[in-house]
Structure 1
């Protein structure tokens, strides 16, 4: 996975609308000790979740990463 704020190539972003695909993507994040980030559409609202448990104990998200994720989500919503 590429570090933020570099955009991730579309081929590396899994479509996890299927539960099995979601679970597989989460397992891969855990195996690679990476934060799992999911964007969900819930009706007319979007929810972004970052699961640091997948990265392992003691992992935190610094403010610059939060800001980059937030900016990417805002661009996604506007497009």
Structure 2
């Protein structure tokens, strides 16, 4: 896992195909107060998973989640992924054709989640 606020390059996104690898990577993310990210083989295809519950910090606001959701929808529409779930603190996408493509997607979403969280920590809370 990376240090908090630092995105991972695709080559460092852990392969959590085995349950024990997933457990260790998640434990490492929690220890390092980092957003959890991994890829995992599912049959002949790959899955991407990101989980911000592994670290402290603000939930990503709805406006930012909309951006992530829009990108995920484009990946589905272009058949890069077959399904995607996007929530303020959790992202999963699956049936990605290659490990390399899954790593690229995981790294990009990891960078986006971290950047959006950091951006919103500097924005003053608006009182309604």
Question: Structure 1 length normalisation: TM-score?
Answer: 0.55
- The one of 96, 101, 106 equivalent to 1:77 is 101
Q: Deviation above 6 Å: which 4+ runs of structure 1?
A: none
Q: Measure, in 1, the Cα distance between the counterparts of 2:20 and 2:45.
A: 23
The CA RMSD over aligned residues, in Å, is 3.5
C-alpha displacement at 1:46, in angstroms? 2.0
Q: Return closer, same or farther for 1:22/1:56 CA change in 2, 3 Å cut-off.
A: same
Question: Structure 2 length normalisation: TM-score?
Answer: 0.38
Contact 2:17–2:39 (8 Å) recurs in 1: no
Q: Measure, in 2, the Cα distance between the counterparts of 1:42 and 1:18.
A: 11
Matching of residue 23 in structure 1 with residue 27 in structure 2: no
Q: Measure, in 2, the Cα distance between the counterparts of 1:45 and 1:56.
A: 32
| 2:43 corresponds to | 43
Structure 1 unpaired stretches of 5+: none
C-alpha displacement at 1:54, in angstroms? 0.3
Q: How many residues get paired?
A: 69
Structure label with greater radius of gyration: 2
Q: Return closer, same or farther for 1:32/1:59 CA change in 2, 3 Å cut-off.
A: farther
| 1:7 corresponds to | 9
